[in-house]
Every structure is written in structure tokens, then in C-alpha cells.
């Protein structure tokens, strides 16, 4: 049976970004997940049914997920049949990220608990409910996974991504000079070569 590649975009993106990956997987159908979730608990409600509909009729399911979209996937899809996942700049520890953003904004955790939500000067609104949810629901990801990480990622530290990769047994590729958002010509060429190499290697192993 055929293979479907499902792409999950990050914040500010959309399902049309999946077009980029069609040339990289010429023998597969590539589709973007058109979702509305803004939180992991909304993703748990929305993602499983969307994935079930997109995978119908396919024998193999590959996942490409970006940034917070990767986090939503890991929070909502670990019990779905996904054969392999490629995560690009995944947010793997949102609790740590929220605490870091509090520090950047000069705001205490106690202040966030009291006010429930705090708008930051850099455009993010931090939520006490979100922080509590992340503490109570660490991702339990059991899908064979490869991670692409930029050396200069400002959202996730190298130690955090390495610890996560070690915990779930994922492969980790680090682009020297890469950023959280892979978007320059050099960065996209690196991303494309990474995906092609890993997919070809997986296909060879599977016969």
C-alpha cells in the first residue's frame, strides 16, 4: 500500500507549507494538517480525528512536524499508528520555555500564578493554566523519530534537546549556525538533504 506523509506546521504557518515536501517524497502522497488548535489540550481533541481521516487507505504513515506543531503532535498522537517522525526544531519542553520567557520578561512565577495571564514585551502571552498543564502532562512519545535542530535555536537549548532525544531514543542532527526557524536558502538545503538522506536510509533498511 502507498505511503502518506503528513506535515504539521508551527505557529504562524499553515497546511500549504506541505507543498515544499512533495518533491522530497516523490513516491508518496504529501498532505498538510489543517488544524486550529492553539494549545496541547485542544490538539488532543482535534489531531487524532484529523490524522485518522488523512491516513485512511495508506499502509505507511510518515510525520513531519515543525516547532510547536511537533509538540502538539507528541501530546496528541503517540497512540496513533505513525511509522516514523521527522521533527524540525521541535519544542520539547514547554515548561522550561515558559519559565525562560518569564525570566526574559522579568516576571516571577508567583506573579503569573496570581494574574493567570501576562503579556510580554516580545509578543507572547504567558498562561498559568498552560504552565500547569505542561507540568502535569509530559510528552510520552513512542514513535521512531529523527530530530533536526539549529545550533542557534533560541527556543530550546542544546542540553534540553539532547536530553529529550536521549530519553526517547531519537536521532539528533544539529546544523552549525542553524536557527529555530529554518528559512534561509542554506538552511532549507540542509533540511532537504537531511530528510532525503534519512528517508532513503529507512527505505533501504525496510527492503
Q: What is the DSSP letter of 181?
A: S
| Mean pLDDT of the region 4-15 | 97
What's the pLDDT at 205?
72
What's the pLDDT at 204?
64
Is the per-residue pLDDT at 3 higher than 80?
A: yes
What is the tens place of the pLDDT at every residue in 28-84?
999 999 999 999 999 999 999 999 999 999 999 999 999 999 999 999 999 999 999
What is the tens place of the pLDDT at every residue in 80-110?
999 999 999 999 999 999 999 999 999 999 9
Calculate Rg over the CA atoms of the chain: 17
Whether residue 156 sits in one domain with residue 70:
yes
Angle at 124 between CA 51 and CA 162, to 5 degrees: 60
CATH of the domain at 68: 3.40.50.1820
Whether residue 157 sits in one domain with residue 70:
yes
**In the chain, how many domains are there?**
2
What's the pLDDT at 155?
95
Number of H helices, E strands in the chain: 8, 8
Q: Which domain holds residue 131?
A: 93-138
What's the pLDDT at 99?
95
pTM of this structure: 0.95
What is the tens place of the pLDDT at every residue in 139-163?
889 999 999 999 999 999 999 999 9
Whether residue 79 sits in one domain with residue 58:
yes
Amino acid at each position: 500500500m502507498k505511503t502518506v506523509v503528513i506535515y504539521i506546521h508551527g505557529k504562524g504557518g499553515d497546511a500549504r507549507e506541505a507543498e515544499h515536501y512533495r518533491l522530497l517524497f516523490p513516491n508518496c502522497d504529501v498532505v498538510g494538517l489543517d488544524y486550529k488548535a492553539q494549545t496541547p489540550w485542544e490538539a488532543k481533541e482535534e489531531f487524532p480525528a484529523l490524522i485518522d481521516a488523512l491516513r485512511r487507505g495508506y499502509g505507511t504513515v510518515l510525520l513531519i512536524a515543525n516547532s510547536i506543531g511537533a509538540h502538539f503532535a507528541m501530546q496528541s498522537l503517540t497512540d496513533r499508528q505513525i511509522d516514523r517522525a521527522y521533527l524540525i526544531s521541535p519544542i520539547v519542553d514547554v515548561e522550561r520555555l515558559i519559565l525562560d520567557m518569564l525570566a526574559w520578561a522579568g516576571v516571577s512565577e508567583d506573579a503569573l500564578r496570581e494574574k493567570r495571564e501576562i503579556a510580554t514585551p516580545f509578543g507572547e502571552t504567558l498562561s498559568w493554566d498552560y504552565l500547569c498543564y505542561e507540568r502535569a502532562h509530559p510528552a510520552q512519545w513512542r514513535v521512531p523519530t529523527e530530530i533536526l535542530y539549529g545550533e542557534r535555536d533560541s527556543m530550546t537549548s542544546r542540553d534540553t534537546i539532547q536530553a529529550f532525544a536521549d530519553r526517547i531514543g531519537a536521532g539528533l542532527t544539529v546544523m552549525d549556525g542553524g536557527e529555530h526557524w529554518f528559512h534561509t536558502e542554506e538552511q532549507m538545503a540542509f533540511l532537504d538533504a537531511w530528510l532525503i538522506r534519512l528517508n532513503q536510509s529507512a527505505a533501504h533498511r525496510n527492503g
